[in-house]
Chain A
């Protein structure tokens, strides 16, 4: 019994000691929370950031699950989490810029991944058989018969954005702008990311035609070599920001437009920007080239790797890339930890 008590005491002391150590280390950067968004590229980025910041800079990083709207709202209203590594700002542009003007949030870097974008896509076999529809949105919209909706084969199915996503409003308004209902189209709500992915994967696997919304860089686009549709002329920022991304009531006269240029920022709270020090400097430098991100995403899908596994794979494979983001000292520490 006595032995047991001693052992417990020793263990307790050890834990306390470790905690003390950790908090001492943490002073160099502090403990921080980071949003791990619920899609693969953001999972990878968050986990890469976590390893680099923890091993290289001695921060304590806690990843919290997130999604565009909830994470932005929480950062804007409550200042938590401290960092959103991959925030697609199209859906939150106005409140985000307001929060930046008012000094609550800051952008650490614009475009943490290069070559990205949203839009409408078709599978490669469709593009091959009907090249005219890929280059001309009007030719595409004239052919609803190529994409029959299973629930009403006389109409064409256009798979929009899952309920509640920021892009849902944009797709619904573009659907009206292109007058697609009159042209014989139905806007299908896939309900969830799983629904959207599933419907695209099914069509791509079986050689069926499919038209829908998606974005790059993603494993889905890379894996099935999806082809983006040319959506025509850019309709101007007033049309897009003042109408297309608003609710239907606020957008009486949407005009056709190509998809807005996607801006993705790594957003941090101003409070964290003040105390983050080296961590913020790192975030400012950390930019993933699109092709490398795509290859990592296909790796994640093929190997069914989670963000944490993929982050280690990335750090092992692309040392030449990430070593430019960190100091030589930190790079050595990170390398040792792998």
Chain B
């Protein structure tokens, strides 16, 4: 009867030894390879430091002009450019300029890194069902595992600061771009592909000339989600010592500073909206252009 009412669990001592063994082997790993891993990520750290210095040291007017120009290049919308300039002015006026620049630096790098890694991975997944069935569960884990669970090993290996923060952000933010690139390519009409084959397109032509352009709406939805999720991770990244808008939010949480939390939180939202609108407009323009070319 006991067998049914009590779960036949591992003994307490065994469970403890099991956990201790995992910890000990990780400690061994960290001692053996930690320095090598740190050295591997060093160039990334330099780039992050350089970009943040560039953004914080440059005169604020120059930064705003560059950001506005990027917004214009992306969206070709005066409304968006005006909104971008206005929000940066307000952010600066409210004393959040430096933190915003630090956040901007790490989020831009995180997003670019995720896109640069995520799109090829998505293409790979779309090519082969076996790769897809191998990668999908990994993506599921990355999206659902509580971030503190992987922050502990990351901090033990790489310490606190920008690189571990960037890795934490990317673990959480990369799945949508991979998934949606894969999905977009898989959704391309079979008949269109047959037509491409009939014209004698090789793999490269088929991929870059047909599949990716037709998958663009989905890919851009992925880019968009990746940006949003990396901004959502700003506060978590700050918990392992990443400078930026997350730190004041943490300070606000522990001390119940309503206004401080609200202002910095809204600054994160503002960055998210700007990133989102510009990238979406850019995606839309890219597709409109293609449609025009197709019909013309």
Listed in ascending order, the chain A residues whose CB lies under 8 Å from chain B are 67, 69-70, 73, 150-152, 159, 162-165, 168, 188-192, 194-195, 198-199, 201-203, 205-206, 302-304
Contact = CB atoms under 8 A, between A and B. Distances in A.
Nearest to B48: A151
A189 B156 CA distance: 17
Contacts of B155: 194-195, 198-199, 202
28 contacts: A69-B254, A69-B255, A70-B256, A150-B38, A150-B159, A151-B161, A151-B162, A159-B160, A162-B250, A163-B247, A164-B253, A164-B254, A164-B255, A189-B241, A189-B247, A190-B240, A190-B241, A191-B239, A194-B148, A195-B241, A198-B160, A199-B155, A201-B156, A202-B155, A205-B31, A302-B20, A304-B16, A304-B19
A191 B148 CA distance: 13
A338 to B, nearest CB: 16
Contacts, number: 96
Interface string B17-46: 001100000010011001100100000010
Contacts of A199: 155, 159-160, 241
Given A67-B254, A163-B254, A192 B239 contact: yes
B256 A202 contact: no
A293 B30 CA distance: 29
Given A164-B253, A188-B160, A198-B159, A152 B49 contact: yes
Contacts of A192: 239-240, 250
B148 to A, nearest CB: 7
A187 B3 CA distance: 57
The 5 closest A-B pairs by CB, nearest first: A164-B254, A198-B155, A192-B239, A163-B250, A164-B251
B243 interface: yes
Given A70-B254, A164-B251, A205-B30, 6 more contacts: A73-B256, A151-B45, A163-B247, A165-B254, A192-B250, A198-B152
A159 B241 CA distance: 10
A194 B151 contact: yes
A206 to B, nearest CB: 6
B211 interface: no
Given A73-B256, A164-B255, A188-B160, A150 B45 contact: yes
B111 interface: no
Nearest to A150: B161
Given A151-B162, A192-B240, A205 B256 contact: no
Contacts of A159: 160
Nearest to B163: A150
B104 interface: no
Contacts of B152: 194, 198
A206 B30 contact: yes
Nearest to A149: B161
Contacts of B221: none
Interface string B34-64: 1100100000010001000000000000000
A264 B280 CA distance: 55
Contacts of B159: 150, 198-199, 202-203
B193 interface: no
Contacts of A194: 148, 151-152, 155, 239-240
Contacts of B238: 163, 191
A302 B13 CA distance: 12
B241 A191 contact: yes
Most chain-B Cβ atoms within 10 A of its Cβ — which of A163, A164, A191, A202? A191
Nearest to A193: B239
Contacts of B250: 162-164, 191-192
B232 interface: no
Nearest to B46: A151
A245 to B, nearest CB: 13
Interface string B223-255: 000000000000000111111001110111111
Contacts of B151: 194, 198
A190 B164 CA distance: 12
Contacts of B239: 191-192, 194-195
Nearest to B257: A164
B164 to A, nearest CB: 9
A189 B151 CA distance: 16
Given A150-B161, A191-B240, A198 B254 contact: no
Most chain-B Cβ atoms within 10 A of its Cβ — which of A69, A192, A303? A192
Contacts of B19: 304
Nearest to A196: B160
A69 B155 CA distance: 26
Contacts of A163: 238, 247-248, 250-251, 254
A178 to B, nearest CB: 21
B277 to A, nearest CB: 30
A102 to B, nearest CB: 21
B88 to A, nearest CB: 24
Interface string B121-158: 00000000000000000000000000010011001110
Contacts of A190: 160, 240-241
A189 B27 CA distance: 24
A203 B158 CA distance: 10
A189 B268 CA distance: 20
Contacts of B30: 202, 205-206
A152 B48 CA distance: 12
Most chain-A Cβ atoms within 10 A of its Cβ — which of B34, B35, B239, B248? B239
A191 B247 contact: yes
A205 B27 CA distance: 8
Contact of B160 (A165, A168, A195, A303): A195
Given A150-B161, A206-B35, A195 B27 contact: no
B156 A198 contact: yes
Nearest to A91: B255
A206 B158 CA distance: 11
